[in-house]
Amino acid sequence: MIRIGLTSFNEHDKLTGKKNNTLYEYAGFLPLVELDTAYYGIPRKTSVENWISEVPDTFRFVVKVYQGISGQADWHTYYQTEEEMIQHFLEVMAPMTEKGKLFCFLVQFPSSFKCTQENVQYLRKLRKWFDGYPVAIELRDYSWYSSEFLERTRSFMQRAGFSLAVIDEPQLLNTTIPFDPFVTNPSFTLFRFHGRNTQGWLANDQDWRKKRTLYRYSEEELQQLAKEIRSIEKQTREIGVIFNNNSGGDAAENALALQKILQIEPQGLNPKQINLF
């Protein structure tokens, strides 16, 4: 099964015509969403319970894990050990995992997370901490994909049962990661499309986040991405596709266009308009 969705649910006016959507409204159009809320701070369990109450049975969540887990925040202020941090995160997410609404946890590492023995060892610890849970890994440094390490990176992810996320982003020599549709987990594969704004990707001013994802995929580019998705469909049971190119509000229209190209018609979505009678 292929599910297509977007990062966040409340900022896609191209879906509903509204500037701010509820999760219930979003789930009337797409069957998958990536939640970044937990990345900035582990939410309350009641928030997780509210999320799953707003979506239909067929809906799934990609949850970006807390930034302390991916080494991008100092967790020592809140937790005594890494194990305590992980335990709290999983306890909060329990309603989602128990209800079968989780597509996967996403661990997005920074570009400073390079292919070293120390970092490989951390990935091994991560697998133990998330034993039994579906985990996608997004690596953002080219060293993992270099000719020296690519095969070993793939092999490690296969043995660990991680899904190595397939990333589409600008191709800058030895600084960004290549598009590599290689299946490392037969249970699920996650695609994340950041856009191909080369100039914006290099921005380092205060608006760099907005510039990075300011991109609209063309029909030709979507056709090629659809071909790549279909090429691995028989190798993995579930495929999730997340569009993150939304600085200009393009993600929703690109997602709907890709659904059409792939001839996907999601079933069991929320009603788009509540019938009061």
Name the token pair of 28. 């009337």
Helix axes 117-129, 82-98, angle to 10 degrees: 50
Whole-number Cα distances in Å, 16 to 12, 50, 154: 8, 21, 40
| Strands 102-108, 2-7: pairing kind | unpaired
Can you give the pLDDT at residue 221?
A: 98
Name the token pair of 246. 């939304």
**48-52, 200-204, 237-241, 255-259 — which is least confidently predicted?**
200-204
Determine the residue type at 65. Answer: V
As a whole number of angstroms, the distance between CA 108 and CA 73 comes to 13
Residues 149-189 pLDDT 10s = 999 999 999 999 999 999 999 988 778 899 999 999 999 99
pLDDT over threshold 80, residue 276: no
Residues 25-63 pLDDT 10s = 999 999 999 999 999 999 999 999 999 999 999 999 999
Backbone dihedral region for residue 225 (phi beyond 0: left; psi -120 to 50: alpha; all else: beta): alpha
In angstroms, how far is the first alpha carbon of the chain from the final one? 34
Can you give the pLDDT at residue 275?
A: 47
